[in-house]
Amino acid sequence: MQSKNNYVQSFAWAPALAVLASLVFLIGGCKKEDAQPAGPPPAPEVSVMTIAPEAIMLTTELPGRTSAYRVAEIRPQISGIIQKRLFTEGAEVKAGDVLYQIDPAPFEAALKNAEAAHARSEANLPAVRSRAERYKGLLAENAVSQQDYEDAAAALKQAQADIQYWQAALDTARINLEYTRITAPISGHIGRSSVTEGAIVTAYQPVALATIQQLDPIYVDVHQSTTDLMRLKKRLAEGHLDQNGESQKEVKIIMADNTEYPEKGSLQFRDVTVDPSTGSVIIRAVFPNPERALLPGMFVRAVVKEGVNEQAILIPQQSVSRDPRGNPVALIVGADNTVGKRLLEVDRAIVDKWLVSSGLVQGDRLIVEGIQKVRPGMTVKTVPLETASGPDNSEPGAASNNPESN
């Protein structure tokens, strides 16, 4: 009976053992298949651009301040009492317009006195001249003494000198009378008056009666540091920049609200004296100002052209990274599709690109996209940048005034 039970149990385990043997066979087959060597991983794909130098106009943005084209401080040239003020404060005046009238009465009296004295001296001259000429003839006949003739000749010269003296006094009186009418020396915008009718003024007093400023055109004085000036001269000496263009002297300004002034200016001169307090030199430009949008003393930003770089290399900013020391580096792809690293010198940022001074040459294939998944020495698959991200249509604009330090 026990043998029969053992037989029945063995027969019951038979299907389980068969299934287990099948699984062992399948697992063994899978291990043999997994043990086969795997193929090399595919090369990572990167987007590259081919370096091609281009000609660009380099500009620099400098802080500046507006100043009037001409300024005239009105001061009296004689002393007296202001009788009338003949202009409207804040209005436009023209050269020659009468601004103030000083009481002319004492100067008219002085003129009449000078005229009378001059007339008296002229009336005395004929008699003195006749006497001198008569004594000269009598001296030849020994009818008068030499002393009498010399006295008559001296009297003639004195009469002539008196005429010249009173003529000068007459001219002075006329000039002083003319100075009672204080006129505008230039055309422009006149400010407030510092005096009113009845005020006593003195000749050439330190306080101006009013100030006239010519605002069209108007000056813009910008400050350029000596560091930037020396860097610019170095680029010119090395032939990296060309300043012979017809539009080289053209300047534009950015207003305080970040809007561009519609009129273009012209560069006038660069000062040769360095301000010891700021370490900068003055660059002066002149701008049309027909609408009086620019007022003296306004702060603006002037965009000044440095010159044309005929062999400029511009690369996207995303293609540049930094090494542990902070130096800018870029990755390139060699002829054998191997990644290499280049240490760069960048000049400045132009919109979303770097202007490269050294480190890249024409024909280099620069990695722009996919930098994170490659390392120097790796083999990569390259695709043109336009294929992955579309053509790069950004145009260089105004150059930054803060060159990237290397």
**What does the pLDDT look like over 132-184, one tens digit per residue?**
888 888 888 888 888 888 888 898 899 999 999 999 999 999 999 999 999 99
pLDDT band, very low/low/confident/very high, at 73 (cuts 50, 70, 90) = very high
Task: State whether the Cα torsion 76-78-82-87 is positive or negative.
Answer: negative
Domain end among 309, 344, 378: 309
In a domain, 319, yes or no: yes
Q: Answer yes or no: is pLDDT of 194 > 90.
A: yes
In a domain, 163, yes or no: yes
Q: Answer yes or no: is pLDDT of 283 > 70.
A: yes
Q: Are 283 and 378 in contact (CB under 8 A)?
A: no
- Which among 392, 403, 347, 348 is positioned nearest to 369, based on CA atoms? 392
In a domain, 257, yes or no: yes
Confidence at residue 401, expressed as pLDDT on a 0 to 100 scale: 45
Q: Answer yes or no: is pLDDT of 288 > 60.
A: yes
Q: What is the CATH number of the domain that holds 264?
A: 2.40.30.170
Residues 98 and 139 in one domain: no
The shares of helix, strand and coil residues in the chain, as percent rounded to the nearest 5, are 30, 35, 35
Q: What is the CATH number of the domain that holds 315?
A: 2.40.420.20
How many domains, the chain?
A: 4
- Per this entry, what is the length of the chain? 406
Tell me which amino acid residue 248 is.
Answer: Q
Instruction: Name the token pair of 9.
Output: 């149990």
Residue span of the structural domain in which 295 resides:
60-68+215-309
By mean pLDDT, which of 63-77, 143-157, 169-183, 227-241 is the weakest? 227-241
> Residue 382: in which H helix or E strand, if any?
strand 381-384
Residues 156 and 201 in one domain: no
Residues 268 and 375 in one domain: no
Residues 109 and 99 in one domain: no
- Which among 358, 356, 328, 348 is positioned nearest to 404, based on CA atoms? 348
Residues 343 and 244 in one domain: no
Q: For tokens 């001074």, name the residue.
A: 357
Confidence at residue 184, expressed as pLDDT on a 0 to 100 scale: 96
Residues 320 and 308: their CA atoms lie apart, in Å, by 24
Residues 115 and 185 in one domain: no
Helix (H, G, I), strand (E, B) or coil at 22: helix
Confidence at residue 132, expressed as pLDDT on a 0 to 100 scale: 85
Residues 124 and 163: their CA atoms lie apart, in Å, by 9
Q: What is the CATH number of the domain that holds 127?
A: 1.10.287.470
Average pLDDT score over residue span 259-276: 87
In a domain, 332, yes or no: yes
Residues 94 and 202 in one domain: yes
Residues 174 and 187 in one domain: no
Domain end among 294, 309, 324: 309
Contact residues for 191 (Cβ-Cβ < 8 A; gap 6+): 89, 90, 210, 211, 212, 213
Average pLDDT score over residue span 179-191: 95
pTM of the model: 0.68
Average pLDDT score over residue span 281-289: 90
Residues 86 and 83: their CA atoms lie apart, in Å, by 10
Q: Are 320 and 313 in contact (CB under 8 A)?
A: no
Q: What is the CATH number of the domain that holds 92?
A: 2.40.50.100
248 DSSP assignment: T
Instruction: Name the token pair of 301.
Output: 């930003």
Bridge partners, residue 287, by sequence: 218
Q: What angle do CA 253, 258, 260 make, to 5 degrees?
A: 40
Average model confidence (pLDDT) across the chain: 82
Average pLDDT score over residue span 94-123: 94
In a domain, 9, yes or no: no
Q: Answer yes or no: is pLDDT of 225 > 80.
A: yes
Gyration radius of the chain's alpha carbons: 47
Residues 147 and 197 in one domain: no
Confidence at residue 197, expressed as pLDDT on a 0 to 100 scale: 93
Domain end among 257, 277, 309: 309
In a domain, 221, yes or no: yes
Residues 189 and 156 in one domain: no
Q: Are 99 and 213 in contact (CB under 8 A)?
A: no
In a domain, 399, yes or no: no
Q: Answer yes or no: is pLDDT of 280 > 90.
A: no
In a domain, 159, yes or no: yes
Per cent of the chain over pLDDT 70 is: 83
Residues 96 and 165 in one domain: no
Residues 258 and 357 in one domain: no
pLDDT band, very low/low/confident/very high, at 95 (cuts 50, 70, 90) = very high
